[in-house]
Structure 1
Amino acid sequence: MKAYRLLTEEDTSAFCHKVTEALSKGWELYGSPSYAFDASTGKMRCAQAVIKEADGEYDPEVKLGGL
């Protein structure tokens, strides 16, 4: 199965650490990162899609971060 996640975070080093952790666990970047202003918080937010080939069949109960 191919798994997909969209990682999001405020524009701080926490976002880079989140993406780096995913890459260290075998996830691969999918597309370009996005950057947008969140008017409700007044802060910039980042997003990056990642994908990973995983064993087994898709199950909506699977915790993608644990793959």
Structure 2
Amino acid sequence: MTTLYRTITEDDTSQFCHRVTEALSRGWSLYGQPVMAFDAARGVMRMGQAVTKEIHGEYHPEMKLGAQ
């Protein structure tokens, strides 16, 4: 088994929630707490959430983690 790790980032909109929900529906699990930070250059709040997923097989750097 191999553990995959990725971080989902997005402006603080419903799109962020949809992206995290989609990852959860594909078997990813939340890893830690979500984070929020103000992007002063753009004047918006940004969100981030780390997720992990166990897969059979080996990790390869060319894997498209969002497609897993």
User: What TM-score comes out, normalization by structure 2 length?
Assistant: 0.95
* Count of residues paired in the alignment: 67
What's the C-alpha RMSD, in Å, of the aligned pairs?
A: 0.5
1:11-67 Cα deviation digits (max 9, x unpaired): 000000000000000000000000000011110000000000012111000000111
Paired AA for residue 63 in structure 1: K
Residue number in structure 1 paired with 2:56: 55
Structure 1 alignment gaps of length 5 or more: none
Secondary structure of 1:14's counterpart equals helix
Which segments of structure 1 move beyond 4 Å, counting only runs of 4 or more? none
Distance 1:15 1:58 in 2: 26
Structure 2 alignment gaps of length 5 or more: none
Secondary structure of 1:56's counterpart equals coil
Distance 2:40 2:55 in 1: 36
Asked if 1:21 is matched to 2:22, the reply is yes
